[in-house]
Structure 1
Amino acid sequence: MTNATLDFWIEPNANPVSPDVREGLLADPGFGRVFTDHMVTVRYSIDKGWHDAVVGARQPIPMDPAASVLHYAQEIFEGMKAYKLADGGTALFRPEANAQRFRESAVRLAMPQLPEDVFLESVRLLVDIDRAWIPAGEGGALYLRPFMFASEVFLGVRPSHEYLYIVIASSVGAYFKGGAKAISIWVSQDYSRAAPGGTGAAKCGGNYAASLVAQAQAIEKGCDQVAFLDAAERRWVEELGGMNLFFVFDDGTMLTPPLGGTILPGITRDSILTLARDQGLTVREAPYSFADWRADAQSGRLVETFACGTAAVVTSVGTVRSAEGDFVIGSGSPGQMTERMRTALTSIQRGTAPDPHGWVKPVA
């Protein structure tokens, strides 16, 4: 990655976490609760453009109670990871794709587009200064959360004139406790994640806020995650609260719901589509109904379902529950294709397999 057109000021944390304390935290980081010493901030105003780019100590954000984001929810974010490679180096996975999606989300939320080179340099610098926070254990990574929100102190209903872009980092292990097991899914028939013309394709906080009541319902039903159907007909399977879905059939073919504006264009999803086709597999992007999901699982035609995303990578779905009853997919355990796709993807991310598409970007 090249240097950004915007110069970053580096201010190392004067009171970093001690190596001993850090080592203790990294022994079992969980997901999203252990944070590194530094953060990136870049400001935007309608008159000055992007300015004041700083890599400094992680600290609270001063915020006025009239900040526009608190009232009209102009906010977007990304999720990505930095990995330790087999050769001892550190790398990001497809960061250009995150940068592009961040710009697309900004357009949908009427926000200024952060230049891609600034996005890339911001995450590179943060990984470089906090690379000691990457856990050494299996599945360990540095989860990066770039985000931007409307910071103007103003209560009128219009796009903000000021924004704050921030990147924080979290040391993470496995997303689901217990390792690579098959998760259970609750299919929500009461709530929708996104509607045509809405913000389903943008990575904004409101999409996730809207999914939380359905996710809580899933937990009440003893499930790990919630799956959403389309808002118009409540017929077509779309995605989970934070992951895309793939379906594997007994003839070796695969299917994933098409994007179309209501489904987040997952980078892991796109990577799996590419890897599967590289291996000569037939993968269709086509609508798939909940009724067909049930019928195909019960007949044995559907042998696997898996979810994918940056946080959980590739995760098998074993049981599906809904108000209409439950059904099991295959044996209810992780399937061969799920493990095949997980291994193919993680081997490239970790530098133990060839990278024919140039997805792995070393952090110099």
Structure 2
Amino acid sequence: MTRILFVDRDGTLIEEPADFQIDAYEKLRFVPGVIPAMLKLRDEGFEFVIVTNQDGLGTENFPREHFIGPHELMMQVFASQGIRFREVLIDESFPHENKPTRKPGIDLVLHYLRDRSIDLDGSAMVGDRDTDIEFARNLGIRGFKLGPGLESWESIAHALVDAPRTAVVERNTKETRIRVELDLDRSGTADIHTGLGYFDHMLDQIGKHGGFYLALRCDGDLHIDEHHTVEDSALALGQALRQAIGDKRGIGRYGAAAEQADEAGGGSEPLRGGIVLPMDETLARAALDFSGRPYFVFDGVFPREQVGELPTELVTHFFRSLCETAGLNLHLSVRGENAHHMVEASFKAFARALRQAIARQGRELPSTKEAL
């Protein structure tokens, strides 16, 4: 079945000028990111249909000949990049006429409702106005509103093509207020704020080396101590991971990684198999399984009670709490001399193992029990 991306024109494909009429060549400007995003969607099998309201097109105030030139140039530019439109549907009425062909009305696209070869569940609408989103709702398809602080063409293509595994978790108690956002299929700079600088740095390692976007903000009772902030952040992050992974079909499930010492500095033996990364005198190993059965095993002794504002006793408590809500079985070991290196290597090793475990490898459920 064919998936259709219905798109508005002005403000969506091309920038809309202050007078709302693109009636001269010099007014033609493409919306940033539109061409690479549409190429990605084209390669995924989407076909494109423009649905646009052009108020009073053909009247004295908006002569048709002024519209045609810039419009045809726009179409030529898209065609030169390999982007072609199945149809261009234009309503020329004014808002006060309330014609059913004018968005959010759907009379211009009724033939797509009748065409059984069209996959409406997989189709979508992109526009820059509320009427575009209402049009999508009337048509029974997914709607994306383009604009600052809303959607970008990059995020729209990502949502439609990559079927991202995302989660938003809010955890609010008398001790902490936490919000976690995850996108396991998009890398990006982590946005971490817990009030504990070194802990922020460690959470940043999880996103960076785990290969996914992570945002975590925590407003905790640091006037008491660090415990609740660290524990509840772990619980919320674990819940978000479990939610984002969903039914676990297609994931690697297992992950194993290691941070290895420099042989000259630590004298450790090279690890065999898995991922090996150096971190001075420290060696950390992590192995995990998204089994749904929480279990945490730790082997190591930190030479200091605190690194920055983070008590080292809370490192193991963090991973244990995360395992509880994520449904993880995690084995973690570390040895070294520098507590900073040891804690950081532990977080990095966990993140690298996690990266393997969440990687998509098809659609099969990785369990002979057919349940995880």
TM over 0.5: no
Q: TM-score, normalised by structure 1?
A: 0.27
Q: TM-score, normalised by structure 2?
A: 0.26
Say which one has the larger Rg. Answer: 2
Q: Of Structure 1 and Structure 2, which has the larger fraction of its residues in strand?
A: 1
